[in-house]
Amino acid sequence: MMAEARIIAILRGITPAECVEQVACLRDHGISTVEITTNSPEWVTSLQRLDEAFGDEVTVGAGTVLTPEHVNTCAAAGAKFILTPNLDLRVIGAAKRQGLAVCAGVMTPSEIFTACEAGADVLKIFPASAVPENYPQMIKGPLSLPVRFSAVGGVDMDNAAAYLRYYDSVGIGSALYRPGQPVTTTAARCARWLESRP
């Protein structure tokens, strides 16, 4: 499940032709939660191919989800969760109606409380590099319910372990995958993560 993942691979810019091979590499290195962003080429086709290729073996979601229409398309393509860069109650509501888990992009205390009330499963602090690494620890005090936090934006192989001291998960994008890179590069970056993870 997305909410239980420690690392989410953000595959921005990936194409249908390479997505299965790249995700197989991630899976073989213990990364089984991946995000296909909606600004990637033919992203719907990539979601469909990954759903067909891996089923429940890999948890595949869609990122940069901006509208309820996006949500409906994601659900039809086989996504299991969505991630948003911002707080949009329409998008959270649409995802809940579709049975999708939601990782909602938030920053301020007001956004955090609003996202919790709306039923977000994970709070995505974005960009995480703009606030102290212990930001969730400072925010959790006033929250009445247990909340899971994910750090996204500025997280890489060198600082992921530091973020995971305070966050439940991290999302890693270009430090793990860049469009068109060979699988051997992805494998090397995964190995680096395995060496540094807490």
CB 140 within 8 A of CB 4: no
Token pair 């990936």 is at which residue?
14
Q: At 63, which helix (H) or strand (E)?
A: strand 59-63
Cα separation, 119 vs 97, in Å, equals 11
Which DSSP category does 108 fall into? S
Fold that domain 2-196 belongs to in CATH: TIM Barrel (3.20.20)
Active site residue 4: no
Cα separation, 194 vs 2, in Å, equals 19
* Catalytic option among 124, 133, 140, 195: 124
Residue 191's pLDDT band (cuts 50, 70, 90): confident
List C-alpha distances in Å: 159 to 31, 32, 101, 133: 17, 20, 26, 10
Name the pTM for this structure.
Answer: 0.93
Residue 109: CB atoms within 10 A of its CB come to 12
Active site residue 35: yes
Say whether pLDDT at 198 is over 70. Answer: no
pLDDT tens track for 133-175: 999 998 888 887 788 999 999 999 889 999 999 999 999 999 9
pLDDT tens track for 49-91: 999 999 999 999 999 999 999 999 999 999 999 999 999 999 9
Provide the angle, in degrees to the nearest 10, between the axes of the packed helices 43-54 and 68-77. 30
* Catalytic option among 18, 35, 96, 140: 35
112 token code pair? 């955090």
The average confidence (pLDDT) of the chain is: 93
Cα separation, 7 vs 29, in Å, equals 12
List C-alpha distances in Å: 170 to 44, 49, 70, 117, 149: 24, 25, 23, 23, 9
Give me the mean pLDDT over the 13-40 stretch.
97
